[in-house]
Structure 1
Amino acid sequence: MSEYIIEMKHITKRFPGIVANDDVTLQIKKGEIFALLGENGAGKSTLMSMIFGMYEPDEGEIFIRGKKEQIHSPSYATKLNIGMVHQHFKLVQNYTITENIILGLKKKDKLFGILPYVDLKKADQEIEALSKKYGLEVNPTDVIENTSVSTQQRVEILKMLYREAEILIFDEPTAVLTPQEIESLLTIIRNLRDDGKTIILITHKLEEIKKIADRCAILNRGKLIDVLDVATTSTKQMANLMVGREVSFEVEKSEPHYRETVLEVKNLTVKNQDHFEVVKNVSFSVHGGEVFAIAGVSGNGQIEIADAIAGVEKAASGSILLNGVDITNYSIRKRTLEGISYIPEDRQSCGLVMDFTLEENLGLKNYFREPFSHKGVLDKAEFSQYGNELIDRYDIRSSQGNKTIVRSMSGGNQQKAIIGREIELQSPLMIFVQPTRGLDIGAIENIHKQIIRQRDAGKAILLISLELDEIMNCADTIGVIYNGEIQKIAAAKTLTSNEVGEFMMGVHQNAEN
């Protein structure tokens, strides 16, 4: 039998206007952690989706355990003991966690020993035990639409583990996890490998690859560039091969020059749908020419602060002032017109209309005003011209340019579209929530430059990120949140990563600002 559990030979996959994979040959050993690297839109997810049966190659062959296979569907891939955790969740919003995990599986229980049925209570117990075993604890009876993004990610992982897959494909599995959850997941992945599972890891996070991967393949615009032993390859070498140029890991920025106060948040309290206070009496201000970053472990109220400022969430009490104007009760559009740009945490649910074209999405904040519409009639030529300008300026890659349906684009390029659209508004206040989630190292470098460029142009930047390195690199001022309360506000240069981490964990709850 072949030493390779997966062999992909001369794989080519085309979509209208683009060659996603161009004559790619890969061999993956049983029991290894194999990483797949490449820029957004390089063809990584497409390649792995063919192993999982979501696409079929136009040319080439796939061998599983030495046998040539035509993997025509995900259900057939499951029969081959292949599982995949997708970057964008494949969950039914009004189903419980258990219902999502067992969806599509054959009924294995028998009523009166004859009639097949689903024993939900038994499944709940199995999933609860499985989640505890792997440190991915969830409440099986929770409905998906009421859970956090990080919980939904854990459900996707549990769905695969519940099916006892031997070949496990993780597509950006840590993109929505906290640093603590990431460490836990990496431990889980190591344990799975030690149990004889074969892991394929698609990620942009080079440090994670260095920690756990055995080998990595690098793709660039659909072509295989190289396959490397991770132990003998530096992250800088990986990044340069991936992007095709020299990449800087440091954020270059000059000393800030603070201007007038742009945003003032006073005694803000926000309640969730259960009327529980998730943001408690929070106050801070952001000046023009300042990057104010809120650091915190996921679920501590930082997203709700951003949503309340943008108008997505209603403030229970307190006030929000923009350039001295009280906008607490303004509509979302009125806040936008007053001067707020907003990059949300969930790009697909809140940032884009997935079945609109790229040019329509890029014009979403402008369609109702000149020159995009005249007396209520949309000017399609203006949308097209504006879209082409942003595609070039922000390196948004898509198969059919302006006319591409956004749902068909890679997650990273969807994110570039949102960031380009919001920066082009040139708002006095720009709110970036998880701006580099799912982006490759080259795109991250570019977004950080964009943030600093806007700060240097006098914009007030509110940055919310779960990436502590991102906060330490970009921020002028850091506010640390824990359990809905600001624990500390200080100049970034006066704080160390360890100190910020301690405040994030609530170690110094009584510290004064």
Structure 2
Amino acid sequence: MEYVVEMLNIRKEFPGIVANDNITLQLKKGEIHALLGENGAGKSTLMSILFGMYQPDRGVIKVNGIETKISNPNVANKLGIGMVHQHFKLVSNFTVTENIVLGAEPHQLYKLELSEASKKIQELSNQYGLNVDPYAKIENISVGMQQRVEILKMLYRAADVLILDEPTAVLTPQEIEDLGKILKNLIAEGKSIIIITHKLKEIKAMADRCTVIRRGKTIGTVNVAETSTSKMAEMMVGREVNFQVEKEEAKVGEVVLTLNNVTVNKDKDVIGLNNVSLEVKRGEILGIAGVDGNGQSELVQSITGLAKVESGSIIYEGEDITNLPVKKRIEKGIAHIPEDRHKHGLILDYTVEENMIVEVYDKAPYSKRGILNFSAMRKHAENIIKNFDVRSGQGPISVTRSMSGGNQQKAIIGREIEMDPTLLIAVQPTRGLDVGSIEYIHKRLVEQRDKGKAVLLVSLELDEILNVSDRIAVVNNGNLIGIVNAKETDENEIGLMMAGVNKGEDE
């Protein structure tokens, strides 16, 4: 009995789009199997079918050799299939234990019995090297820990097949390494794992075999050890991909943005950004590097007007904008690709064409005397969809919520760049994008730079920062550790600075 799960010739259609077109995936017992594909290739749809969240229109699913119909996630759980979703499904003010037993609560005569459960969770945590505290509240633990809670949730329900959707999207490099170890522990205990991803480096590090899908079709399954990353990239995108960012020497102009000793609070009395001064000039890309949560958000929010500056000042094109309202800043040419595309990037129940004018709906040509001009809106949206390859079932009238995360991201980037800003702030612009889209977005950032715009790039991907930036500023714990030229530094030096070691200091 070689395969624990077989999905044979699966087809699934949604309005205007065939998400899965005759896809086959076979998972061997005791392997880590990567499911690789571009944004919107149909990876999450396929796994949602295996987890019982959707029903296939055609095709067969076999679990341990037996053909079966998985009508909902409870059936999947009973069959030993568990899933960790890209956006975690946790209740933030519950404890770890409460979250894990949710829906399978142990009780005696209707009284909740959590002590046994906590004990079992502690044992599982030790067995798999997860280091999770059963009594901690979700809101007090890191994103990486929350993911481990999701993994424990599956183990508590005795899952043998674990599906992880984009597991590394929200993790720091260190946490990614730890996750790799955890997955190897799980395999050693006889589990089988499918990871959905488009990060080739991680497939190389973690997976045994890899199935590639493109635009809803199976391209093939390969042995990871014998296949180069560029070969996998080509299977995924359908053409050769250039991993190096091609750019001329920067032609730096005058200063567009100056921060003078800016301090911003995280909470009422916790400092998020501490006395930071820096400049961004025309014709350069200034990268901000750091481990997540070290002041990047506060820095960006102070410039975009989303956070209050406690002390210090922000000068933009010679004018003090420290207390200027958000809308005024947008009108002055400050564009913002936000870190959280759902919270700050889009109104998910609006269509694409509505989302593309949320910042300029009151300006010509999109409205006149308070009446919206729908044909101008549609033309604008169609232009962005075409230029930025935004894929959605129904074009400009697609509801944004229905699109894949990567395509939502491309729509936001298109909207901000099409505004022709003077200062473009790009926060995690390629998070959740595949190699083909990343290559394209990097080109567009460099193009903005070459048009004499100022670009501020905030990213947790060290490769991206080193590859795209001209200068790199490193933050640690709310402090600016130092600024270096991208050409004169390397991953090692930036890594040390990210850990708080000043340039030129000995450890």
State how 1:6-17 maps to structure 2 within 5 Å.
6-17=5-16
**From 214, 221, 225, the counterpart of 1:227:** 221
Using a 3 Å threshold, how does the CA distance of structure 1 residues 76 and 263 change in structure 2: closer, same or farther? same
Q: Does 1:38 align with 2:37?
A: yes
Note the C-alpha offset of 1:407: 1.2
Note the C-alpha offset of 1:506: 1.6
Q: Which residue of 2 aligns with 1:109?
A: 107
Tell me, in whole angstroms, the C-alpha distance in 1 between the residues paired with 2:27 and 2:339: 34
Q: Which residue of 2 aligns with 1:82?
A: 81
Using a 3 Å threshold, how does the CA distance of structure 1 residues 166 and 187 change in structure 2: closer, same or farther? same
One-letter identity of the residue aligned with 2:176? I
Indicate if the aligned counterparts of 1:6 and 1:65 stay in contact, CA closer than 8 A.
Answer: yes
Indicate if the aligned counterparts of 1:135 and 1:184 stay in contact, CA closer than 8 A.
Answer: no
Indicate if the aligned counterparts of 2:203 and 2:224 stay in contact, CA closer than 8 A.
Answer: yes
Note the C-alpha offset of 1:155: 4.2
**1:31-90 deviations in whole A, cap 9, x for unaligned?**
101011111111111011100111010001101111111111112111112111112233
**From 278, 286, 300, the counterpart of 1:306:** 300
Using a 3 Å threshold, how does the CA distance of structure 1 residues 21 and 311 change in structure 2: closer, same or farther? same
The worse-fitting range, judged by mean Cα deviation, of 155-164 and 251-260 is 155-164
Q: Which residue of 1 aligns with 2:436?
A: 442
Note the C-alpha offset of 1:383: 1.5
Q: Which residue of 1 aligns with 2:353?
A: 359
Indicate if the aligned counterparts of 1:38 and 1:242 stay in contact, CA closer than 8 A.
Answer: yes
**1:226-251 deviations in whole A, cap 9, x for unaligned?**
11111110000000111001110100
Note the C-alpha offset of 1:365: 1.6
TM-score (norm 2): 0.95
Q: In structure 2, the residue corresponding to 1:382 is in which secondary structure?
A: helix
Q: In structure 1, the residue corresponding to 2:444 is in which secondary structure?
A: helix
Indicate if the aligned counterparts of 1:169 and 1:201 stay in contact, CA closer than 8 A.
Answer: yes
Q: Does 1:328 align with 2:322?
A: yes
Indicate if the aligned counterparts of 2:427 and 2:458 stay in contact, CA closer than 8 A.
Answer: yes
Note the C-alpha offset of 1:92: 4.0
State how 1:421-440 maps to structure 2 within 5 Å.
421-440=415-434
Note the C-alpha offset of 1:457: 0.8
Indicate if the aligned counterparts of 2:91 and 2:138 stay in contact, CA closer than 8 A.
Answer: no
Using a 3 Å threshold, how does the CA distance of structure 1 residues 488 and 248 change in structure 2: closer, same or farther? same
Q: Does 1:142 align with 2:133?
A: no
Note the C-alpha offset of 1:279: 1.1
Q: In structure 2, the residue corresponding to 1:164 is in which secondary structure?
A: coil
Q: Which runs of 5+ in 2 are unaligned?
A: none
Q: In structure 1, the residue corresponding to 2:242 is in which secondary structure?
A: coil
Q: Which residue of 2 aligns with 1:27?
A: 26
Q: Which runs of 5+ in 1 are unaligned?
A: none
Using a 3 Å threshold, how does the CA distance of structure 1 residues 7 and 98 change in structure 2: closer, same or farther? same
Note the C-alpha offset of 1:399: 1.0
Using a 3 Å threshold, how does the CA distance of structure 1 residues 21 and 98 change in structure 2: closer, same or farther? same
**From 403, 410, 415, the counterpart of 2:397:** 403
Q: In structure 2, the residue corresponding to 1:316 is in which secondary structure?
A: strand
Tell me, in whole angstroms, the C-alpha distance in 1 between the residues paired with 2:133 and 2:428: 23
Cα RMSD between the aligned structures? Answer: 2.1
Indicate if the aligned counterparts of 1:292 and 1:462 stay in contact, CA closer than 8 A.
Answer: yes
Q: Does 1:297 align with 2:276?
A: no
Using a 3 Å threshold, how does the CA distance of structure 1 residues 331 and 195 change in structure 2: closer, same or farther? same
Q: Does 1:55 align with 2:54?
A: yes
Q: Does 1:187 align with 2:186?
A: no
Tell me, in whole angstroms, the C-alpha distance in 2 between the residues paired with 1:259 and 1:461: 12
Q: Which residue of 1 aligns with 2:408?
A: 414
**1:266-293 deviations in whole A, cap 9, x for unaligned?**
1111112242112111111100111111
One-letter identity of the residue aligned with 1:459? K
Q: Does 1:263 align with 2:257?
A: yes
The worse-fitting range, judged by mean Cα deviation, of 35-44 and 272-281 is 272-281
Using a 3 Å threshold, how does the CA distance of structure 1 residues 325 and 123 change in structure 2: closer, same or farther? farther
Q: Does 1:377 align with 2:371?
A: yes
Indicate if the aligned counterparts of 2:132 and 2:149 stay in contact, CA closer than 8 A.
Answer: no
Tell me, in whole angstroms, the C-alpha distance in 2 between the residues paired with 1:147 and 1:383: 43
Indicate if the aligned counterparts of 1:214 and 1:230 stay in contact, CA closer than 8 A.
Answer: yes
Indicate if the aligned counterparts of 1:35 and 1:209 stay in contact, CA closer than 8 A.
Answer: yes
**From 447, 461, 470, the counterpart of 1:453:** 447
Indicate if the aligned counterparts of 1:487 and 1:511 stay in contact, CA closer than 8 A.
Answer: no
**Aligned residues between the structures:** 505
State how 1:459-498 maps to structure 2 within 5 Å.
459-498=453-492
Note the C-alpha offset of 1:161: 3.7
The worse-fitting range, judged by mean Cα deviation, of 58-67 and 301-310 is 301-310
Tell me, in whole angstroms, the C-alpha distance in 1 between the residues paired with 2:169 and 2:71: 28
One-letter identity of the residue aligned with 2:210? C
One-letter identity of the residue aligned with 1:142? K
Note the C-alpha offset of 1:94: 5.3
**From 330, 333, 341, the counterpart of 2:335:** 341
Tell me, in whole angstroms, the C-alpha distance in 2 between the residues paired with 1:138 and 1:270: 32
TM-score (norm 1): 0.94
